[in-house]
Structure 1
Amino acid sequence: MTNAELMARDLAYIWHPCTQMKDHEQIPLIPIKRAKGVYLYDFDGNRYIDSISSWWVNLFGHSNEYINSKINEQLQKLEHVIFAGFTHEQIVKLSERLCALTGFDKCFYADNGSSAIEVALKMSFHYFKNRGETRPYFVSLTNSYHGETLGALAVGDVELYKDTYKEIMIKTLQTPVPKDRSLEAAKDAAKEFEKLLEKEHKNISAFIVEPLVQCAGYMHMYHPNFLKLAKELCEKYGIFFIADEIAVGFGRTGTMFACEQAGIKPDFMCLSKGLTGGYLPLAVVLTTDEVYEMFYCDYNEFKAFLHSHSYTGNALACAAANATLDIFEKEDVVAKNAKKVTYIAQKLEKFKELPNIADVRQTGMIAAVEIKGYDPAKRIGLQINQESLKRGVFIRPLGSVVYFMPPYIISYEEVDTMIDTVYDVIKGL
């Protein structure tokens, strides 16, 4: 089998996500035969450093031997069972660990990040409904992204994804994101948020935020103090605080969860992506006993939270998640990452000397380089992607923002290759 042969078969039948399929008339689709560590291998013998962790999910490398073994062990016992009226050991263990790790009381499971957002939105609205209040609005930050199902799209603010569907969306309000990473910008944004709450708080169920880094929002980053101030305002005006840690959780920002850097505990925390180490679809919404008890009643009161997915709590996915947490516990991952964070910061310095660079920013293991001076129609990000692939590095720029979010097991030599390759490509534009 060759790349060309498998690509032809794929394009005959498959519609890929987030893709203008006509592009593949000129841009080759790359079939991947296998993967190991930070590398993806195609059918023609080429290998590529997976610099974006395959859409931000992979933490400890592809085909990790320990996670493989734990999934295989579970596969011999139970692959899946309906999660209404039944339970299993892996999900009980995982839930105990997640609650101990985060300080929450209850876990509600779903299949993917967007579904977790839907759960948190519905649950926060339903809480007030059970209390006799109708609060139809949600508040999110400008430039935010929370997924692509309709509810998740509605609370986002990236026009590229959202505008087509605006006529069929739920009611949402936006408040300005801090314009940069300064403390002053955080304070200014909090003041704007309070103005909105003063006017609309009785109609608002929850505020939803992607802490510290708006990942699909072109890797925009801001000061942790905004989260602290926003949480105080949510408490003052009696609305819920939903933390979307789907992309930024599990060590991506330099702490296990991004909210830790602000010293806050949200009312809901949504997790997915890295939850299973990048292996299988699984998502969870963590919340409090206070929320749980608002739905706890006799059946005929009809206050139950009737939300479900066929593969909720999949046993294989939970085994992968437990294996992922094992690695965090045994290997002190966050502390080890801190050294790589510093090294990556040093490597990024040289980008600042290039005349076509507008900004260089970093939060933990997430780094971004923003390019300037190019007509958007030229698709400069795509050009950088294609040239980097030729040199063995896979990146997937967001417009003119090139970012790095590699698996944590990346070596210092591989960091050099990843960053130096992209630097040379950008310098040669």
Structure 2
Amino acid sequence: MSNNFIDYPFDQQHIWHPYTSMQHPLPVYGVASASGCELELDDGRRLVDGTSSWWSCVHGYGHPVLLEAMQTQLNTLSHVMFGGITHEPAIELAKQLVAMTPKRLTKVFYADSGSVAVEVAIKMALQYWQGRGCAQKQQIMTIKQGYHGDTFAAMSVCDPDNGMHTMFGSSVTPRLFAPAPQAGFDNGLAARDASALRALFEAHHQECAAIILEPVMQGAGAMNFYAPEYLVLVRQLCDEFEVLLIADEIATGFGRTGKLFACEHAGIEPDLMCLGKALTGGYISLAATLCSDEVADGISSSAAGVFMHGPTFMANPLACAAARASMTLIQQGTWQTQVAAIEKQLQAELAPARALSAVRDVRVLGAVGVIEMHEQVNTGLMQQGFVEHGVWVRPFDRYLYVMPPYCISAAQLTKLTSAMVEMAASKHRLRGKPAQGSPSHG
């Protein structure tokens, strides 16, 4: 039994949790500690973590390599401004990222969250075209059912119809949206998807600076997996119509879909790439936007002559040290066999859910497993049910999904999948007003 005291009344009255109402807040569960793939609640219960703390803690909790790297850095330099100053953790991490990512991505801009990395990428694209004498290229293109974060530029490229940001109306910049590809990961490029995308490029390329999308797997928008051939077409159209390609790999990067980066499923290279979440193994916030020499030269040729962005905690040394350790673990390659094993087990153990009348679809890609329901679920009731089963699974909208740490054991994963199938069959968990509980890009 943990001795940690959680002041739940104060929390409920004063602390605003993500995507919740202060009048009718969702229940919260006090976490006292975490290790490996498990969270220990303040009442002593242990939960197998199926979310990797919103997809970031891929190495598990309390990993000695990450803890040692952070402790060593904490004792020397925990933070320093990055304007006019540099330091070894930032330099060495950039070397790793340049070596790991597609060859054309040679420049690294550090940010402090995934949403900000998206903001940076969009600003880079706009400023690039100014530097190339095409200041009219101010528009951004994307596909529906996407999610890129909760800050304003990021909100503007999230799904405009069923996303979380429709209530902000005209305050959000209108963008150009192609229909979300619907063919599925293994079904190739559908003619209707290809024609709709080409039509959008043909009509708007003169005003369009870039297209941004989540490669192959759309996350918090709809947990939609689409064909790599669609991504190949996007790259071809970007080259044909002179539009930059921004790959948002914040959720998909570092092995989650079975490739180091999801772009690799299609064999293409973007002009800009956004990274976050697993970058530090989920131990501290850090993100990065990488771009090509061509993009960097265009920005540097703009009227400002410099890129106009500079977060206070940019290239935080402590975060860079954690990321270096996380990237070193990724580079060792163990994730490849781990993710392959997770994928195989998810496919086998989630398959029975397909027979349930309440289930619309079951799909698996890499270390991602999704049960899509026909109707929205009640997040609060579902959350309670999962905790009763000894697991932490955070459903949203119609989706019960897991994206566990790569180091999860087969027994722990079975506990997750069994709970998912059982909860999908438990119709009383679907009753009541659906509550919000979407994943975050922060």
TM-score range (shorter-chain normalised) is over 0.9
1:425 matches 2:423: yes
Q: How far 1:185 sits from its partner (Å)?
A: 4.8
Unaligned runs of 5+ in 1: none
1:168 matches 2:171: yes
Q: How far 1:273 sits from its partner (Å)?
A: 0.6
Q: Which moved more, 1:381-390 or 1:4-13?
A: 4-13
1:26-425 aligned at under 5 Å gives the runs 27-102=26-101, 103=103, 104-133=105-134, 134-157=136-159, 159-181=162-184, 183-296=187-300, 302-372=304-374, 374=375, 376=376, 379-425=377-423
CA distance in 2, matches of 1:305, 1:251: 30
Contact 1:50 1:394 in 2 (8 A): yes
Contact 2:145 2:163 in 1 (8 A): no
* RMSD of Structure 2 on Structure 1 (CA): 1.8
Structure 1's 225 and 297: CA in aligned 2 closer, same or farther, altered over 3 A?
closer
TM-score, normalised to structure 1, is: 0.94
Q: What is the CA deviation profile of residues 2-51 of structure 1, one whole-angstrom value per residue up to 9, with x for unaligned ones?
A: 78852112223211121123333xx5321111111111111111111111
Structure 1's 186 and 320: CA in aligned 2 closer, same or farther, altered over 3 A?
farther
Structure 1's 173 and 297: CA in aligned 2 closer, same or farther, altered over 3 A?
closer
Q: How far 1:331 sits from its partner (Å)?
A: 4.6
Contact 2:189 2:229 in 1 (8 A): no
SS at match of 2:332: helix
Count residues in correspondence.
Answer: 421
Percent of residue pairs bearing the same amino acid type: 35
Contact 1:242 1:267 in 2 (8 A): yes
CA distance in 2, matches of 1:180, 1:217: 17
Q: Which moved more, 1:382-391 or 1:192-201?
A: 382-391
CA distance in 1, matches of 2:85, 2:318: 15
Aligned-partner residue type, residue 100 of structure 1: A
Q: Which moved more, 1:46-55 or 1:224-233?
A: 46-55
Q: What is the CA deviation profile of residues 371-409 of structure 1, one whole-angstrom value per residue up to 9, with x for unaligned ones?
A: 22x4x4xx4444322111112111111212100100111
Q: What is the CA deviation profile of residues 221-258 of structure 1, one whole-angstrom value per residue up to 9, with x for unaligned ones?
A: 11111000111001000000000000111111010100
Aligned-partner residue type, residue 114 of structure 2: G
Q: Which moved more, 1:132-141 or 1:245-254?
A: 132-141
Q: How far 1:292 sits from its partner (Å)?
A: 1.1
SS at match of 1:44: coil
Unaligned runs of 5+ in 2: 428-442
CA distance in 1, matches of 2:173, 2:324: 35
Q: Which moved more, 1:163-172 or 1:256-265?
A: 163-172
SS at match of 2:77: coil
CA distance in 1, matches of 2:55, 2:238: 29
CA distance in 2, matches of 1:401, 1:295: 40
Q: Which moved more, 1:174-183 or 1:321-330?
A: 174-183
TM-score, normalised to structure 2, is: 0.91
CA distance in 2, matches of 1:59, 1:186: 33
Q: How far 1:368 sits from its partner (Å)?
A: 0.3
CA distance in 2, matches of 1:5, 1:125: 46
CA distance in 2, matches of 1:57, 1:204: 32
CA distance in 1, matches of 2:174, 2:10: 42
Contact 1:154 1:166 in 2 (8 A): no
Structure 1's 30 and 336: CA in aligned 2 closer, same or farther, altered over 3 A?
closer
Q: What is the CA deviation profile of residues 123-148 of structure 1, one whole-angstrom value per residue up to 9, with x for unaligned ones?
A: 10111112222212111101111111
CA distance in 2, matches of 1:10, 1:381: 19
CA distance in 2, matches of 1:212, 1:7: 40
